[in-house]
Structure formats: structure tokens, C-alpha cells
Structure 1
Amino acid sequence: MTATTTSEETTAGGDLPLGQRIVRRALTSELIRLGRVDGPRAGHSAAAVAEGYEKAWQIADRWLPLARERRRAASGSVADHARWDGLVRAVTRPDTKVGNPSFTGLVELVGHTRELLRTLRNTEPSYVPVAEVAAQITEAVQNGKYLAGMSLSPGRIAADLGLPLASVKLALTDLAEENVVELSGTGRARLYGLGHTDRAQQIADWLRELIAAGAYPSGTKLPTRPMLARSFISAEYHVVAAIRILTADGTLICHPGQRPVVRPGHPHAGTKATEISRTFRQLPCPTAPMDLSDTGIREAARVAQSWWRAHLSPHPATLDHHYTQLVAIARHLITRAGTRHHRPRASDAGHWEDVDPVIARITATATGVAQAGPEHRVWRTACLAAAVIDLLKLTAEAGEATGPRPRHAFR
């Protein structure tokens, strides 16, 4: 039986559907034929190249009906539907004749056709649809198999649930659109669970907390967007979206070409400053000695930020220990910033205008980490590390103005 009849009977769903083994064998045979289409001899002449195009299109034409059927079946998954749409589009014969076909174009066409056939072979029954894979991952989150805040590789999820790796990757893409997970650049997934707010909303909510804590008093300008992005360890476009949210609800005033301003007379600006400062003083301190040199402080902050950037979820005890260290570092830097004889001369006073907002940011963030749920703690800890680094820079610059300061250990 030829590959043509295989595809026709399979896609038509007739009285005699062919089994999985026969279809896979036909697809494998076509893949072997493709290996000869774009061989070195195909580039010897324009006629040979044109003949290669025709052979590749003939193979693709035989399997496009099945591919289109798979595309229709994938309507429950945006990512899977987009995959099939791209595969079909890449190998569909153009309506108009190709003018001067090139050997490079032939190699690309054969590559796309090969990818189509491999995908068809890999999605033969008993293939699990991507929408069902996404449902299984969601169920695993709901049942507590995967806790909110965990960071997992697609390979780990595929192995745990016994699912195809390619399907898991596509399902995670769909779940990222639904804010159930967040994907890193390397494909790792941080699981947030159902109902999780998106990053822009997260930043907007946290900015409101910082305004209430006095980090950004009413009538003052927010830092630049790149500075805010560094503070929140987030992409700048998320910060822009958060600013839009706060502008729409009246928290901020935004004029074209200018930094956003906390609305003058904002009723909640600074209202929680005293409460947060009191709570911050009650946070626990580590009992073991710590390295409070500038190098040691930067390393502690780097570790906390690297967890978030790499989408890693440390053990809760490890995260708690590191958070407690950052709180102790913050207290040390706040004390250093408030030491009168270390303050710069009057001519440098403008430098210290930035210290109080950073201290307010630190106290609010440290308090927020202690009160945050598991899915937010890694992010809040990274934000605390960013604020600690900002205060370190300010106190270090002030120290340069007043002379070097000896290193010491904090217990």
C-alpha cells in the first residue's frame, strides 16, 4: 500500500482506518525519501532544483490533509494550534509559480516538510492532546502535587506525569497566557496556581504599598522606568503597564515625556509608614556572625536576585535564612546611613535626599516578605535585595565623602 492511500484513508476516517504502526511506517518512508531530495546532486542545475521542489511539495501535499485535521483538533490549545498553523503554512504549495527556485530555498522547504512529517509521526494515537496536558498540569497544581511558587523544568513535569515533552512545553505556553505559570527564557516554569494576577498588576499593587509606606510621598516623581524595573526585578514593559494601571485609578498623574507623579494630596500616601517601621524593628535577626563588608553584602543580594531571575525556588528554610540575613544587612546599612558624623557636608546634602525613600522601600519590602504567600516570597526577597544594594551604593558614596569606614562583623 502506498503512502498516498495511507494518508487518504487515515484522514478520511473511512471504514478501514489504518493502525498506528502502518501510518508511522509510511511517515518514516517519506522521511527517507526526503533525505534524497535535498542531497548534493540536487544543486547541480536549475532543473534539478526545480525537480527537488516538486518532489518535496508532492510529499507535503499527501500529508497536508492529516496536518489540517490535527490543526482543527488542536483548537483547544492556542500554542498547539499555532504550531500546526506554522507547519502547514511552511510547506503549502504557493498559488503562483516560483520564479527562480534556489538550492537554499529547496533545503529550507525540505527541512519544513521533514519537521511536518516528524510532528505527524509523534502525534499519532495514543497522543495526548495539548489541551489535556494543560488540564493535567493544572490538576497537579490544584491537588498539591506542585506547590505554588515551585519552579520546574518541562522535562521534570513530563517525567512526573508521563507525558510527551513537546506537549508539555506547548501546554506550559498556554498556561502562561492564563497566568497559571510564568516561563523563564530557558523554558522553566514557575507555578503560581489558578487566579494568579499578572506581573503588571503585581507591580501596581506593590507600588501602592510603597506609596502608603512613604517610599514615594504624594506630589513626588517616581524614579525612571529603568530604575523601577531594577527595583522590581522585572521587564520594563511590565513597569509601564503597572504605571498605566495606577494612572487609570488616579494613584499617579502621568504627563507625556515626564516621569509619573504620585497624585498630590493622595489620601493613602505615607499612612502606613509608622506601622511598617515598627513591624520592621520586630523582624528576627540571625544569631550567627555575618560578613558585612561591601563584597559580602553584594554577594548576599546577588544570590537572592539570581533565584528570581533563574526561576528557581529554594527550600523554604533556605529562603527564610537568606531573608533574615538581608534584614540584618538592611538594619546595618540604615544605622550607617543615619550616623550623623558620617553624613556628607552641606554641599553634598542633595545626595541624601534619596536615602529616606530607599529606607522606606527597604522596611516596607522586608515587612512584605514576612507577610507574603509562598508564590510571592522569592520575588519580594529579590526586591529587598535590590533595595539593599541601592542603600549600599548611597552609603558607600557618602563614606567616600567622609573618609573610609572600617569593615566589621554584625552579630
Structure 2
Amino acid sequence: MKDHRQHLTTWLRTLIAAGVYRPGARLPSQRELARVCVSDAYAIRSSCQQLLDEGTLEARKRRLYVPDDPTPRGPTCTLPPLRVPLTMHDHDPAALREAALCTRVWWVCSRGKATTPAMRQKPSRGAVGQQIAHLCTAFQHLARQLAAHGMADTPHARSLTKRAELAARAVCHADPPAHLWYLACLGTAVEDLLHLGAPAADDPAADAPQTAHAPAAGQRPAPAGAGP
């Protein structure tokens, strides 16, 4: 539990430093943070209190805000660039929601909170790797669809795409069991992108087969066969 709270606090600092939660903006409710970070309410409260005490957050009228100068007062995640090959996966919304649910179940199981014998079975390394590749390419697919439909330039869309990108970068470089948590965070971000781009989710035109390395969030994908 203590290790997870430390990971969570560092992750929240990372999201703030990257502008997912913008300077001067009110932080989402603790219930929403618990959903986004796939964590329990106690861990969220504990992390927010630490961020408040150190000055990474500030309180205004009993609400938590990102300071106008959001300089992290503690460690953030070191995230190398995302380098997952853009291979073809099933980007059907139902399949992506099922994949996201699967990642949350894995995370719950890893913490010893499984409620059925079936949930107590640990996922194989191969299964985890497949889900990482699936959801990493899915977030890029959905980001391209948002851009193709002129929906990517709103503050909410940029924030959500950045959150998905950071989670994808984190899960590709995290050690067990933290990688299951970052994978669950990525699954939640993919679900949120699905919800945001629901009108565009069924349009295949924005997604063509790719073999290049993954672009950074908000950038156009490199042509097939191009370098990183």
C-alpha cells in the first residue's frame, strides 16, 4: 500500500508538471481522480494531502487547485519516448472497453483483492505485453481520429491525449507490479478518449496501417517506413 501511494503521488506530480492539469485550474474531484488513477479514495486523499503540504497543490475555498506556477516540489516520473510499433489491433470500441476492463481486473488481482478463483489467476507475461501493445496503439489511433475530425484542439482533448500518452510511456518502462497499475491507468484513458470521440470512433479513414515508431501525442504519425 505504501509503495502504491508513493507511485500515485509521483504520478500526480507528473500529470501536473506535464500540463494534464493546467496551471491555475481546479483539480478534479477526489472521486474522479480515483477513477482516472484506478486507486482507492484513501490513497487519493493521502497523495493530495502530501502534494498540498509540499506546495505542488494549493487550497482555495476548500478546493484544490494547481498553482499558477506549477513547479513540482518532489520527484516526477522519468518517461522515455514511446517506441511501440504501430501494428494492427482491433480498435472496435467494444473490444477496447473489454481490454480496459481486463487491465483493471489484473490490477485488482495483483493487490490481492480478487473475489473469485478465476480473478486470482495471474496474467502471463505474453498476455500483458499484448494488452500493452493493444492499448498503446489504440490511444494513438483514437488521437488521430480526433485530429481528423477537428476535435483534438480543445483543452480537454489535449489534456486527455497527454494523459494517455504519459500512461503509455510509463507502462512501457515500469517494473512489475507497477506496470499493471500504469496499464490500468492507460485503459481508463483509452476509454475516456473513446467517450470523447464517440462520433468519430466508427470512422476507419483516420487509421491506416503503420510500422513507424509511435509519434508524440498531438503530432501527426510518420509515414509508413519512416524512422522515429
1:367 to 166, 169, 179: 169
* CA drift at 1:300: 1.5
1:231 to 36, 49, 60: 36
Partner of 1:249: 54
Partner of 1:284: 85
* CA drift at 1:257: 3.4
Query: Hey, what's the Cα distance between the residues in 1 that align with 2:169 and 2:89?
Result: 21
RMSD between aligned residues? 2.7
Q: TM-score, normalised by structure 2?
A: 0.75
Partner of 1:335: 144
Query: Hey, what's the Cα distance between the residues in 2 that align with 1:342 and 1:219?
Result: 26
8 Å CA contact 1:302–1:385 kept in 2: the answer is yes
Whether 2:9 is the aligned partner of 1:204: answer yes
Q: 1:236 to 1:321 in 2, by over 3 A?
A: same
Between 217-226 and 243-252, report the one with greater CA deviation: 217-226
Query: Hey, what's the Cα distance between the residues in 2 that align with 1:410 and 1:374?
Result: 33
1:7-406 to 2 correspondences below 5 Å: 197-258=2-63, 260-268=64-72, 279-280=81-82, 282-286=83-87, 289-311=88-110, 313-339=122-148, 341-343=149-151, 352-396=154-198, 399=199, 405-406=202-203
Query: Hey, what's the Cα distance between the residues in 1 that align with 2:59 and 2:10?
Result: 18
Query: Hey, what's the Cα distance between the residues in 2 that align with 1:291 and 1:384?
Result: 16
Between 200-209 and 303-312, report the one with greater CA deviation: 303-312
Bigger relative contact order (CA 8 A; separation at least 6): 2
Gap regions ≥5 residues in structure 1: 1-178, 180-196
Query: Hey, what's the Cα distance between the residues in 2 that align with 1:215 and 1:246?
Result: 16
Query: Hey, what's the Cα distance between the residues in 2 that align with 1:381 and 1:357?
Result: 18
Query: Hey, what's the Cα distance between the residues in 2 that align with 1:359 and 1:221?
Result: 19
Query: Hey, what's the Cα distance between the residues in 2 that align with 1:252 and 1:223?
Result: 12
Gap regions ≥5 residues in structure 2: 111-119, 210-228
Query: Deviation string for 1:349-371 (max 9, x for gaps)?
Result: 9xx33111111111111111112
Looking at CA atoms only, which structure, 1 or 2, has the larger radius of gyration? 1
Paired letter, 1:365: A
Amino-acid identity (%): 27
Query: Deviation string for 1:351-401 (max 9, x for gaps)?
Result: x331111111111111111121112011110011011111111111xx28x
Paired letter, 1:355: A
